[in-house]
């Protein structure tokens, strides 16, 4: 099992193994367990992928970090995006048909000549 520590004050979420010394999911008035309160919350998941999916679908601000102590991705086996229900957004890059190649040597030479006054 894994814990996602969502901290709204620092806009950082951290994934921990349930055996990690930093995974201390205690409910308080500002941070809940399996519920979001004012300062964030602790959420339990069966995999790191589910934690990442929750972070993305909840549209939480900030980034997700992996704990450096327990290293939750140490024995990671990638889960297919389809299994997690996450779709890849088309960026339009795959539709690019024109490629322009610039001669960098000639441009560099002309720039250095301009700068050196030749």
Closest by CA position to 5, among listed 21, 24, 19? 24
Which phi and psi (to 5°) does residue 33 adopt?
-105, 120
d(CA 1, CA 83): 18
The answer to whether position 86 is within a domain reads: no
* pLDDT confidence band for 58 (50 / 70 / 90): confident
Domain that holds residue 58: 2-77
The answer to whether position 35 is within a domain reads: yes
d(CA 20, CA 14): 12
The answer to whether position 115 is within a domain reads: no
pTM: 0.61
The answer to whether position 113 is within a domain reads: no
pLDDT (tens digit, 9 = 90+) per residue, 79-118?
Answer: 555 565 655 556 566 555 544 555 566 767 777 777 777 6
DSSP category for residue 28: -
The answer to whether position 72 is within a domain reads: yes
The predicted structure's pLDDT at residue 29: 83
Number of domains in the chain: 1
Closest by CA position to 32, among listed 42, 24, 22? 42
């Amino acid at each position: 099992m894994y814990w996602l520590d969502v901290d709204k004050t620092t806009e950082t979420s951290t994934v921990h193994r349930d055996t990690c010394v930093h995974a201390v999911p205690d409910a308080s008035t500002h941070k809940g367990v399996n519920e979001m309160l004012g300062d964030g919350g602790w959420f339990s998941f069966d995999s790191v992928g589910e934690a990442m999916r929750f972070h993305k679908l909840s549209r939480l601000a900030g980034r997700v970090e992996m704990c450096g102590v327990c290293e939750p991705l140490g024995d990671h086996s990638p889960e297919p995006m389809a299994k997690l229900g996450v779709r890849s957004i088309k960026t339009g890059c795959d539709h690019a048909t024109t490629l322009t190649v610039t001669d960098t040597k000639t441009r560099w030479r002309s720039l250095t000549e301009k700068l050196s006054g030749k």
